[in-house]
Each structure stands twice: as C-alpha cells, then as structure tokens.
Amino acid sequence: MIYRTRLGEFEINDDEIITFPKGIPGFEELKKFIVLSLPETDPIKWLVSLDDESIAFPIIDPWLVLEDYEVDLSNQDLELLQVQDPSDIVVLSIVTIPIDKPQEATVNLKAPIVINIKKGRGLQVILEKYELKHPITKTEVKSTNVVNNGVNDVAGTVKESGD
C-alpha cells in the first residue's frame, strides 16, 4: 500500500508496519508506524507515523551515543511486545534537533522506543537512570560521526519537508 508521510510517499507492506498498542506518550492516538532509513541521514533513521502524515521522529541506536547503555524491560513490557526471543528486540532513541542549531542535538535515553521486529509491535518505555535530553556531543563514543553524518543531514531534511 502507498502511504504519504512527512518524508514523502512510500510503498509499505503490512509486515513492515509496527503497531504501538498504547501509542507513544503525547501521541497515544497514533498506533501505526514504520522505521525508515534514508542514506542521507545515516546513522539516524526515522520513526514515521502512518496514521498522521505530519509526524516523523528522528531516531538512533542509543549505543552509538552511549556504549554502556542498558535497557531493562519488565515482564509486562515483554508480554505487550510478544517477545519470545530477545534477539528480536531493537532499541532506538528519539533525537531532538533544535532548528538552526544541530550542534545542540540531544537524544532521549530516558524513554527509548523498543520494537519486536518479528511481531511488528512497539512500545516506549521509561528508564529511571538516564537523561531525557542527553547531549549527543557530550559523549566520546562515535558522536562525531553521529553529528557530522546524521544530525546535520536530518536538520536539512526536516527543513526541506516543511519544518
């Protein structure tokens, strides 16, 4: 099926859709998303709503920002995600990029997006030990590549798409 999104039109198969049974905090009414990779914003990907074409979140592998990042999921989280094999889980964090200040980008390590890629189910969880706005440039691990190869390109992509 063809979906119109903030990043353009894409043909998306049903098995690529990620359902968030509870939505995402602040966007509880949105249930269907897809993760898109754009070469020009790598290593940053996009969590794109299929319910509201104006919603797309830049996301990143949190281990690119913090090597010793840890995610503990409750039994309730694992049940909601229908996890049978831990290797089916992907964890991503939302990136915030201030307009005209990509060097001040932050990543939300406190509330990662957890996806069961086998079942197409997602959930945003809250982790007590991390920051909501962890500066990407504050880290030593691969942050130069994240900023140079991702954040600056994402800032340009968002501007081009009307933000």
Helices (H) and strands (E) in the chain, counts: 3, 11
Cα gap 27→93, rounded to integer Å: 16
Reported pTM: 0.83
The number of domains in the chain is 1
Domain span at residue 154 reads: 2-160
CB neighbours of 60 closer than 8 A, spacing ≥ 6? Answer: 43, 44, 45, 92, 93, 95, 107, 146, 150
**Which token pair is 42?**
């790598």
CATH number of the domain encompassing residue 80: 2.30.290.10
Contact criterion met (CB below 8 Å) for 123 and 20: yes
Instruction: Return per-residue pLDDT of the chain as tens, 163 residues.
Output: 999 888 889 999 999 999 999 999 999 999 999 999 988 888 889 999 999 999 999 999 999 999 999 999 999 999 999 999 989 999 999 999 888 888 888 999 999 999 999 999 999 999 999 989 998 875 444 444 554 444 555 544 444 444 4
